[in-house]
Amino acid sequence: MNFEKALAEELSSLAGIGGRVFPIMAPDTIEDPDGGGDDVPLVTPYILYESGYGVEEKALGGYLDMREIEGEINVVTSTYAGLKQNVAAIIERLKSFERRAIGSDALFISEVTYEAPVELWEPLPKLYRSVIEFKVNI
């Protein structure tokens, strides 16, 4: 039951992302998607994510087989319009998790909540970034 694996699979299938989904930090280069063999520079848009194990729920009889996981998704784009488009797609995908199984391991998500996205301009790489904090109950 690996939530991060399921999350990455779900986000990788978004239009225009092309599998560019990474835990915490993006690499400078990625494997050539055209199969050329050489690494190529990472292009936008791409998604970064992070989450922890979560907090197990507890009742009088002890811990239950349920937990709440907090996480964060960062989407990075080269244009503001691209940022808006990708944020909307990510939020719709997050909302779709509720009451369904996600990823190839069919991890069931009982509830999803998210905070309003925060938009940022990253001056050094000259890229737009949005941060979406969320919680899921599995």
Write out residues in the chain with pLDDT < 50, as ranges. Answer: none
pLDDT at residue 57 in the model = 83
pLDDT at residue 1 in the model = 60
What's the per-residue H, E or C state across 8-60?
HHHHHCCCCCCCCEEECCCCCEEECCCCCCCEEECCCCEEEEEECCCEEEEEC
On whether the CB atoms of residues 89 and 15 are closer than 8 A, the answer is yes
Q: What predicted TM-score, i.e. pTM, was given to this entire model?
A: 0.91
Structural domains in the chain?
3-137 (3.30.2000)
